[in-house]
Structure 1
Amino acid sequence: MPSPVSDIPAATPDLAAAHYAGKLAFETDCSDVRAAFAAGKVDFVLLDVRSPALFQQAHLPGAINLPHGKMTAHRMAEWAKDTLFVVYCAGPHCNGADKAAFRLAKLGLQAKLMIGGMTGWADEGFAFESQAAAAE
């Protein structure tokens, strides 16, 4: 009798590769975002889509605050059409980043969701910035 794990057979390697390639086209993670900044290879715009008040309290270093409701064609015209946006919100319990990625896609722009959001960043032990600290 198979275990609950193998009761449903695993996908073939070709199907698994296609699935995970597709998934990675939509997502990135905290570690990869931090590594890009640390290496100076930031080829994306990091958007914190939470409220300005929450952004002022704490945010990821290098992030720009732009709540998803403010993502209009006019506002997004500041960036080239081929810009990659990485969006995040509070964490897995928040769908603000999903809404932002959806809005960006509807505007014809590329977006990836940073899985984990603020919660994932904290879980990795990475430091946050705050507006108060930036002003000092």
Structure 2
Amino acid sequence: MTRTLAFPAAAPEAAVRYFGAELGFEVDPDDLVQDLEAGRTDGYVVVETRAPEVFALARIPGAINLPYRDITAESVTHLDRDLVYVCYCESTVCNAATKGALKLAELGFKVKRLSGGITGWIAAGYPVEGAGITERGIRCAC
């Protein structure tokens, strides 16, 4: 038997539940950039969960900065609870987006995470705002 099939594939019904649930938690950069470029921003807010100093250097256009360490019931009173908050951080090796999404969810907000973070966003050639990436490049800073 091949390694690929060492564990049998799930039944189609189970795969629908699993992959459908996964898509409820994440959005990919291509879907997000297409929405942003088409002006389809109703219903969600893009949230950078790293520190303010790296947010100032490079961020997804229109994103707000909510460092995950600062998310409390008091710090999010201004947020609209009817929106979905799409959290991102540095990359797949940084979990600030996961921590931020968890904190927001614990406070009753609907959340998703952007796959690949800003590193994946930039690698795909998508636009960024900010003062400019330094010679150190994109870093976690969470």
Q: Same fold (TM over 0.5)?
A: yes
> Which residue type is aligned with residue 109 of structure 1?
F
Q: Distance in 1 between matches of 2:27 and 2:62?
A: 16
What do you get for the CA RMSD once the two structures are aligned? Answer: 1.2
Deviation at 1:39, TM superposition (A): 1.5
Deviations along 1:34-56, one digit per CA (max 9) or x if unpaired, are: 11111211120111111111011
Give the drift of 1:76.
Answer: 1.6
Matched, 1:18 2:1: no
Partner of 1:6: 5
TM-score, with length taken from structure 1: 0.91
Which deviates more, 29-38 or 83-92? 29-38
Q: Which amino acid aligns with 1:63?
A: A
Cα distance in structure 2, aligned partners of 1:75 and 1:131: 25
- SS of the equivalent of 1:47 reads strand
Identity of aligned residues (%): 36
Per the alignment, in what secondary structure is the counterpart of residue 75 of structure 1? coil
Q: Greater CA deviation, 84-93 or 122-131?
A: 122-131
CA shift, 1:72, in A, is 1.8
Q: More displaced, 67-76 or 6-15? A: 67-76
Q: C-alpha distance in 2, partners of 1:21/1:85?
A: 19
| Residue in structure 2 matched with residue 58 of structure 1 by the alignment | 58
SS of 2:85's equivalent in the other structure is strand
1:119 maps to which residue? 119
**For residues 131 and 63 of structure 1, what CA distance do their matches in structure 2 show?**
14
Counting matched residue pairs gives: 131
- Residue 39 (structure 2) aligns with: 40
Greater percentage in helix: 1
User: Helix, strand or coil: the match of 1:61?
Assistant: coil
**Cα distance, 1:32 vs structure 2:** 1.2
Q: Is 2:11 aligned against 1:28?
A: no
Give the distance between the partners of 2:31 and 2:73, measured in 1 at CA: 28
Give 1:103-118 correspondences, 5 Å limit. Answer: 103-118=103-118
Structure 2 SS opposite 1:46: strand
Moved more, 12-21 or 70-79: 70-79
Amino acid corresponding to residue 16 of structure 2 in structure 1: A
Partner Cα distance (1:56, 1:77) in 2 = 23
Question: By how many angstroms is 1:14 displaced?
Answer: 0.7
TM-score, normalization by structure 2 = 0.87
More displaced 10-residue stretch of structure 1: 74-83 or 63-72: 74-83
